Amino acid sequence: MTAEKFALESADLFATDTEAARQKRRASVDAPLLAAVRGEKPSRRPMWMMRQAGRSLPEYREVRANVPMLDACFDDERVAEITMQPVRRHDADAAILFSDIVVPLKAAGVDLDIVPGRGPVVAQPVQTMEAIAQLPTVEREQLANIEKGIGHVLEELRDDQVLIGFAGAPFTVASYLVEGGPSKNHEVTKSLMYSQPETWHALMRALTPTIVRFLQAQIEAGVDAVQLFDSWAGYLTSRDYREFVAPYSHAIFEAIRPYEIPMIHFGVGTGELLGDMAVAGPDVVGVDWRVPMDSAAARIRAALDHHRPDAKPEDKIKALQGNLDPAVLFAGDDVIAAHVKRIAAEADRAIDRGQAKGHIFNLGHGVLPTTDPDAITRAFEEVHKS
């Protein structure tokens, strides 16, 4: 099966319970993040931070003390507590579920671990057709504790705060499987992709159902939005992204679309791919700190005009998410305020020009571990004033 054919047919592979999911969601339709995605004027500029549920907070370090990362990810009470900690502290407009992109693989039975100071490490790298054939697909019952954790979070969130679920995109998940762990250059991954394209596409087809089911489990448990992280897609050219990656990300978005919740797509170093990532089908495109927000919006609109010429005008405009440099949070209150003002102005210009629907403020990547939590709080306060 070609990648294109897979993208066209795969949406029919995944049964959805959209009504059950709708009944679980409890965020107000007027919640700032949801309003921004629709292109309406929110009551305040919505903000959350990637990795906000994590390493910078002393209360996080306390609850994670002597608890391995993956053990915490499958502990429903810890999932809820860690998810909510930054929301309580910073008055965030969204909680991001505490989890990891390798969680569905671990749940399915893949032999891997998250090694402190290194990241996900796979016992047996997946580099052959035989290894791909042995990859399990996650089942819903294997995600039961994560669904329970989502239920706990929903009990605590205000109705103007949303819960965001997430998953890793197939390319980024595949890179860990192929390399056996984190990689600086992804040379093994890209070598396989270039030299054995049939094997590569087989791996993409094998991973896509697990990623979809992981997202479905979160959505049917009540999350209000989802983000697909393609953290390492920035290592690819636009040509390679379109051939080897986009069809599978597109298939995931199409499988999730019936739930009618916001879908966010984000990668690091993806300035040259922003248009292609938008064409893959999300409602919101995350922008890292390297590209001004108004420039990003122009690239996205141009790509959608080119690749979706027959689409409705409103479908050629995406909401934007981003894009404060995480290092700015170390530079003091005045610098934080100045950068927040600049980014808000860039996003507002894009909206005024009809090149973006709305703006969700975020970092251009994740919170750095040594960030002062008080600086994070001040950033939220500045954004909410903008």
**Contact indicator for 93, 157 with CB cutoff of 8 Å:** no
**Contact indicator for 93, 47 with CB cutoff of 8 Å:** yes
Query: If we measure between CA atoms, which residue out of 308, 10, 189 comes closest to residue 2?
Result: 10
**Contact indicator for 233, 174 with CB cutoff of 8 Å:** no
The full DSSP string for 3-33 is HHHHHHHGGGGS---HHHHHHH--S-TT-HH
Taking CA atoms, 314 is separated from 127, 311, 366, in Å, by 42, 8, 30
Q: Is 259 a catalytic residue?
A: no
Taking CA atoms, 271 is separated from 22, 201, 293, in Å, by 34, 25, 11
Distance in angstroms (rounded) separating the CA atoms of residues 207 and 136: 9
Query: If we measure between CA atoms, which residue out of 117, 32, 98, 95 comes closest to residue 60?
Result: 98
Query: If we measure between CA atoms, which residue out of 249, 307, 304, 238 comes closest to residue 271?
Result: 238
Distance in angstroms (rounded) separating the CA atoms of residues 170 and 161: 29
> What does the block give as tokens for 118?
């290194």
> What does the block give as tokens for 218?
């979160």
Q: Is 51 a catalytic residue?
A: yes
Catalytic residue among 25, 45, 64, 78: 64
DSSP 266: E
Q: Is 378 a catalytic residue?
A: no
Distance in angstroms (rounded) separating the CA atoms of residues 137 and 43: 42
What residues contact 15, with CB distance under 8 A and at least 6 apart?
A: none
Catalytic residue among 60, 176, 235, 259: 176
**Contact indicator for 109, 141 with CB cutoff of 8 Å:** no
Encode 163-178: b = buried (16+ Cβ within 10 Å), e = exposed.
bbbbbbbbbbbbbbbb
> What length does the chain have?
386
Catalytic residue among 91, 100, 113, 240: 100
Catalytic residue among 22, 26, 38, 51: 51
Distance in angstroms (rounded) separating the CA atoms of residues 150 and 223: 7
Q: Phi first, then psi: what are they for 123, rounded to 5°?
A: -65, -45
Look at phi and psi of residue 354 and say left if phi exceeds 0, alpha if psi is from -120 to 50, else beta.
Answer: left
Q: Which residues are catalytic?
A: 51, 55, 64, 100, 176
